Chains A and B, each alone.
Chain A
């Protein structure tokens, strides 16, 4: 059965696209899974990491983007979804015998405009604004689910902020990884995204949901080892399930996403970050989120 994994945080710059791509590579290379990454972010960073600038531009010109897919198929238009997908993306070499590979539904800078247009189209049907928003979201969810048949894992790289597509992704995901940088404002961002994911209105309602029943787990990212980071992580662990994996600031992660057409092994690509990625892969895909209280 296809698993839908969202990587989300309303705060920008926390590493959502980087982690989406790392998990896609890991699931394909080590989990031998057929992976589709959907780039829902109009910054298109995951697409640029996997296709390079020219590859992404070519895909955009060919109408192979998420915006094209939503726009073309929104009104139940039948067709072959695979024409929007770019297969075998990225620069990690997978053994020919292995089924694992990464495919991409590329992102688009037009996605926000398309969402606005789809909303306006639906609002002509004498529906209340909330009902129109719900309709747009539910159609988007259905369109995303279409890919469930062809892949073992669909990774939804969510945008910061709350577009219809982001709402739809959070609604439909089986599991959500929420990366964060341990700084003061990140606490607020985590609280807010947790309310959305768990569909509750305030911190008290959220606290009534046991960690083991929550769909999300938070991932501390870009750690420098400073003392205040540990304090903030301990504070966050009081309210949110945390993964035990901690991703430090590493040159090898930053360099891993300099576009390079040459295929390489996971060891060559991720170098000193490999051990961290192995741990993250095991933890996320074994479903062994540590629902920890404070350390």
Chain B
């Protein structure tokens, strides 16, 4: 069962804005400044789908801080549920099986954040304004086709 959700780009910005609004002591200008700084430094965040109970995040006394062994278990669990942006090679699928096969392979990815992460990590440029998952998948495949064409042109 999925325990976290990846946020990046506009979704990540929106999350930060929502979170900052709960801190009324921050001025609007300060919030924007903070947001700009976080946008520069954070590529992606993972949000718990079920927030931890409040007492679980209450700071413990220094002596009771978790050992590395204890903290490694939840990290491993979290990473096992995370999306692997290298799980399929879009350029190779486009080259070997064609556009339709690449679209079919991407159809298994049903979250915008994951598709955008895949595009970014595979250096496939897609626009920020695409609204539907289908548009995003098509843009990823088109970017892969451009990559292939680019390379063929350079080797002529």
A-to-B contact residues, CB < 8 Å: 184, 187-188, 191-192, 195, 201-203, 206, 227-228, 230-231, 234-235, 238, 294
Interface pair A202/B123, CB less than 8 Å apart: no
B-to-A contact residues, CB < 8 Å: 84-86, 89, 91-92, 95-96, 121-123, 151-152, 154-156
Interface pair A235/B155, CB less than 8 Å apart: no
Interface pair A294/B96, CB less than 8 Å apart: yes
Interface pair B154/A238, CB less than 8 Å apart: no
Chain B residues within an 8 Å CB radius of A201:
156
Interface pair A195/B155, CB less than 8 Å apart: yes
Interface pair A238/B95, CB less than 8 Å apart: yes
Interface pair B122/A202, CB less than 8 Å apart: no
The 8 closest A-B pairs by CB, nearest first: A227-B86, A191-B155, A203-B155, A202-B156, A188-B154, A231-B89, A234-B92, A234-B89
> What 8 additional pairs, Cβ within 8 angstroms, besides A228-B121, A228-B122?
A184-B123, A188-B151, A188-B154, A191-B154, A201-B156, A227-B84, A231-B91, A294-B92
Knowing A227-B85, A227-B86, say if A187 contacts B92 (CB, 8 Å).
no
Chain A residues within an 8 Å CB radius of B152:
203
Interface pair B92/A206, CB less than 8 Å apart: no
Chain A residues within an 8 Å CB radius of B92:
231, 234-235, 238, 294
Chain A residues within an 8 Å CB radius of B151:
187-188, 191, 203
Complex CA–CA separation, A230 to B95 (angstroms): 16
Can you show 22 pairs from A to B with CB atoms below 8 A apart? A184-B123, A187-B151, A188-B151, A188-B155, A191-B155, A192-B154, A202-B156, A203-B151, A227-B84, A227-B86, A228-B122, A228-B123, A230-B86, A231-B86, A231-B122, A234-B92, A235-B89, A235-B92, A235-B95, A238-B95, A238-B96, A294-B96
Complex CA–CA separation, A187 to B153 (angstroms): 12
Complex CA–CA separation, A201 to B154 (angstroms): 11
Complex CA–CA separation, A192 to B153 (angstroms): 11
Complex CA–CA separation, A203 to B153 (angstroms): 9
Interface pair A202/B155, CB less than 8 Å apart: yes
Report the minimal beta-carbon distance from A209 to chain B, rounded to whole angstroms: 14
Interface pair A206/B85, CB less than 8 Å apart: no
Complex CA–CA separation, A191 to B151 (angstroms): 8
Interface pair B96/A235, CB less than 8 Å apart: no
Chain A residues within an 8 Å CB radius of B84:
227
Complex CA–CA separation, A187 to B152 (angstroms): 10
Chain A residues within an 8 Å CB radius of B155:
188, 191-192, 195, 202-203, 206
Q: Which residue of B96, B123, B154 has the most chain A CB atoms within 10 A of its CB atom?
A: B154
Complex CA–CA separation, A228 to B123 (angstroms): 9
Interface pair B91/A235, CB less than 8 Å apart: yes
Complex CA–CA separation, A15 to B55 (angstroms): 54
Chain A residues within an 8 Å CB radius of B156:
201-203
Chain B residues within an 8 Å CB radius of A227:
84-86, 121
Chain B residues within an 8 Å CB radius of A187:
151
Chain A residues within an 8 Å CB radius of B96:
238, 294
Complex CA–CA separation, A233 to B92 (angstroms): 10
Chain A residues within an 8 Å CB radius of B89:
231, 234-235
Complex CA–CA separation, A135 to B41 (angstroms): 58
